[in-house]
Amino acid sequence: MVQKEVALRIGARPGDSNYGRLSVMLQYCCDCQYLFEVAPGSFKPPPKVDSAVIRLLPFAEPEHDIGDYGVFSKIVQSAFGQRRKTISNSLKSVVDRETILHCGIDPGLRAENLNIADFAKLSRACNQ
């Protein structure tokens, strides 16, 4: 059980305003399921926030080949560190524009528009 806002971030999908670094990093290694909300009145004393129950089921094998985990993590961190910038600008210290294009990703997109497979492609391209 976590705060509802955290649960929404964990389960968010690309394009959702809640989608971010936490979403990508957890969904890379787990099947993340939002189960149900828990009202503040369920607790004594009632908290000032809503809660939600989530289920995190680790994958036996990750669904995406990311190459080096450290590189993957750095790319995701850099991409979401400057959310409103395009990925070509937010990743320029890690990945050049040509590499982004070579991966078949539009460099004009923002991080919240990339799925885990896109981040995995960028990570593998940096490992070569």
Instruction: Quick: pLDDT tens for 3-50.
Output: 999 999 999 999 999 999 999 999 999 999 999 999 999 989 998 999
**Euclidean distance between CA atoms 70 and 77, whole angstroms:** 10
Q: How confident is the model at residue 83 (pLDDT cuts 50, 70, 90)?
A: confident
Angle between helix 4-11 and 21-29 (nearest 10) = 60
Per-residue pLDDT, 126: 87
Q: How confident is the model at residue 59 (pLDDT cuts 50, 70, 90)?
A: very high
Q: How confident is the model at residue 128 (pLDDT cuts 50, 70, 90)?
A: low
Q: Which residues is 37 bridged to in the sheet? A: 52
Yes or no: is domain 69-127 CATH 1.10.8.100? yes
**Euclidean distance between CA atoms 104 and 126, whole angstroms:** 14
Q: Where are the domains of the chain?
A: 2-58, 69-127
Q: How confident is the model at residue 84 (pLDDT cuts 50, 70, 90)?
A: confident
Give which of 118, 110, 122 is closest to 16, Cα–Cα.
110
